[in-house]
Amino acid sequence: NDKAIKKFGINLKRIRKALNISQEELAYRTELELSQIGRIERGVINTSISNVFLIAEKLNISPKDLFDFEI
């Protein structure tokens, strides 16, 4: 579902910015490529569920927070 993937990315970006964390810092914390963080936030790729849990852990939030959006 392309719409959900885009909404997920927008929500991730919103949360990351609210926490005052750069894409570079999130990439460092998660050990994911900076370009991958950007592609997730733009909704270009459908990231794995394991990456969702990793990102949530490194942002100190619940994974469900990343899915708190309307489709």
Task: Please count the residues of the chain.
Answer: 71
Residue 32: per-residue pLDDT: 98
Q: What is the pLDDT of residue 16?
A: 98
Q: Residue 22's pLDDT is what?
A: 98
What stretches in the chain show pLDDT beneath 70? none
pLDDT attached to residue 27 = 98
Q: Which residue has the tokens 């750069």?
A: 22
Retrieve residue 20's tokens. Answer: 């005052």
Pairwise CA distance, residues 29 & 14, whole Å: 17
d(CA 56, CA 61): 5
